[in-house]
Amino acid sequence: MTTAQDLSIIAAAPDADPSLERGDLSLALAGAELIDLMDVRAVALDGDRLVPGAAPRTEDALLLDAASALSGRPPYETVEDWLWRRGPELADRYRRALEAAGLAAPARSHRHPFRKDRPAGTDTAALHRANDRWTAGEPVLAVLAAAAGIGEVSDDTLAGLEDDQGAVLTGVHHAITQLAAERQRRSIEGAAFDNVWRGY
């Protein structure tokens, strides 16, 4: 079980906000993977650089894939470099993994793939673990979820983070802020084009 999987489970909850942005969630999941890799010593932070370590001992296919995607050559990449490289379509990949494991019903909507009920009768240790961490307000999961647009965090929650976790989560926040700015820019440009097209 990983933080990334737990985050994807929380995002797939039937009562999750249907306006959740997949891009934001993808960046948060990439950050969750980094923290999971740090926990198993597959990567470490050296200043602002990600230095690969030992191959993780896990059966989680997505985490193994994340480990294999780490840049193995100096000067290595920064946290934000990793987020932008690893993030694209990551929310969809985790969604498919949940569906394959029976932890979420197949999404019927391309617009809101996480806004569907889980299969009836699904009751697993993975769901319990994610929900227990979420209910307890576990700092890493809570901050990642808040970054993706799920819930909010207090100063007390932030105080419970380790330094390396804080560095990754800061990178996630910066990347999501940049993504929001890019969405706003495209929206403004699209509106301006529409106005020109209509003769304004």
Sheet holding 49-52, edge to edge: 43-46, 49-52, 77-78
Handedness of CA 112, 117, 118, 123 (dihedral sign): positive
Which residues make beta-bridge pairs with 45?
50
**What angle do helix axes 22-39 and 3-11 make, rounded to 10 degrees?**
150
Would you place residue 195 in the very low, low, confident or very high pLDDT band (cuts 50, 70, 90)? low
Q: What is the pLDDT of residues 162-193, one digit of tens each?
A: 999 999 999 999 999 999 999 888 878 766 55
Answer for the pair 116, 14: CB distance below 8 angstroms, yes or no. yes
